[in-house]
Structure 1
Amino acid sequence: MIHNLSYRAFVYGTENKEKVLESIKTLFPNSLPQCEATEGYYKNPVLILSNKIDKKREIKDFVEKLSKMNDPTRKRILHQLENKMDDSGNLFLRFDKQRAYQGDLKVVEHGDSIHLKIKIAAYPAKKKVALEIARKLFE
């Protein structure tokens, strides 16, 4: 169902890196993100935590987490699938960092989040095929 997952989260100067790491662990408990230091718009320090997951066991664990999300969240994702997927079958979701830190998965639209790219295993790799597979994933 899923080829791989990649995520990215920003740690701003006012945030605690360890708390953001805990937020990521809510989604991916075994992931060790790479850390890249950069600067924000006003020259403030920003860390970018990212990783790509392609191990079947970790992907399966993530799919189980998705299946345990509450119904309104899953329905919201289903309703927005068309807009959240590109023509190559990549599904883009954002999870609230603060809620993830508390163990709750909430899909959000704002940028201060854990950005997730899900490569749907669709053959052929077309949006129409990937949408059908993604619908089954969230139903």
Structure 2
Amino acid sequence: MIHNISYRAFVYGTESKEKVLEAISTLFPNSSPQCEATEGYYKNQVLILHDKIDKKKPIKEFVELLSSMDDPAKKRIINQLEDKMDDYGNLFLRFDKQRAYQGDMKVVEHGDSIHTKIKIAAYPAKKKVALEIGRKLFD
């Protein structure tokens, strides 16, 4: 169903890197993200935590987490699926960092989140096929 999952999260100067790592571990418990330092708009340091998951077991665990979301959240994702997927079958979801730190998965629209790119395994690799598989993921 899924080829791979990439994610990234920003750690701003007012945040704790350890807390953001803990938030990431709610979604991806076995991931060891890479860390890159960059400069923010006001010359402050911003860390970017990122990883790509392509092993079957962690992907299966993530799918199980998605299926454990409450029904209204899954329905909201299904209703927005076409807008959140590109023509190559990549599904883009953002999970709230603060809620993830508390052990909860909440899909949000704002930027202060854990950005995920889920590559749907669709044959042929067309958006229409990937949308059908995406709907099954959240049904």
For residue 36 of structure 1, what is the aligned residue in structure 2? 36
For residue 136 of structure 2, what is the aligned residue in structure 1? 136
Taking every aligned residue pair, what percent have the same amino acid on both sides?
A: 83
Partner deviation per Cα, 1:3-56 (whole Å, 9 max, x = no partner): 000000000000000000000000000000000000101111100000000000
Q: CA RMSD in A?
A: 0.3
> Displacement, 1:130?
0.1
Three-state SS of the structure 1 residue aligned to 2:110 is coil
Alignment map for 1:87-126 (pairs within 5 Å): 87-126=87-126
The answer to whether 1:73 aligns with 2:56 is no
> Displacement, 1:68?
0.3
> Displacement, 1:93?
0.2
Q: What is the alpha-carbon distance in structure 2 between the residues aligned to residue 109 and residue 7 of structure 1? A: 15
Q: What residue identity is the alignment partner of 2:90?
A: N
TM-score (norm 2): 0.99
For residue 14 of structure 1, what is the aligned residue in structure 2? 14
Q: What residue identity is the alignment partner of 1:32?
A: S
Question: Post-superposition, which runs of at least 4 consecutive aligned residues in structure 1 deviate over 3 A?
Answer: none
> Displacement, 1:90?
0.2
Q: What residue identity is the alignment partner of 1:51?
A: D
Q: What is the alpha-carbon distance in structure 1 between the residues aligned to residue 69 and residue 92 of structure 2? A: 17
Q: What is the alpha-carbon distance in structure 2 between the residues aligned to residue 73 and residue 45 of structure 1? A: 34
Q: What is the alpha-carbon distance in structure 1 between the residues aligned to residue 21 and residue 70 of structure 2? A: 23
Q: What is the alpha-carbon distance in structure 2 between the residues aligned to residue 25 and residue 77 of structure 1? A: 22
Partner deviation per Cα, 1:68-121 (whole Å, 9 max, x = no partner): 001111111001000000000000000000000001100000000000000000
Q: What residue identity is the alignment partner of 1:16?
A: S
Q: What runs of 5+ residues in structure 1 fail to find an aligned partner?
A: none
Q: What is the alpha-carbon distance in structure 2 between the residues aligned to residue 74 and residue 22 of structure 1? A: 24
Q: What residue identity is the alignment partner of 1:35?
A: C
Three-state SS of the structure 1 residue aligned to 2:124 is coil
> Displacement, 1:2?
0.1
Q: What residue identity is the alignment partner of 2:52?
A: K
Q: What is the alpha-carbon distance in structure 1 between the residues aligned to residue 4 and residue 94 of structure 2? A: 16
Q: What runs of 5+ residues in structure 2 fail to find an aligned partner?
A: none
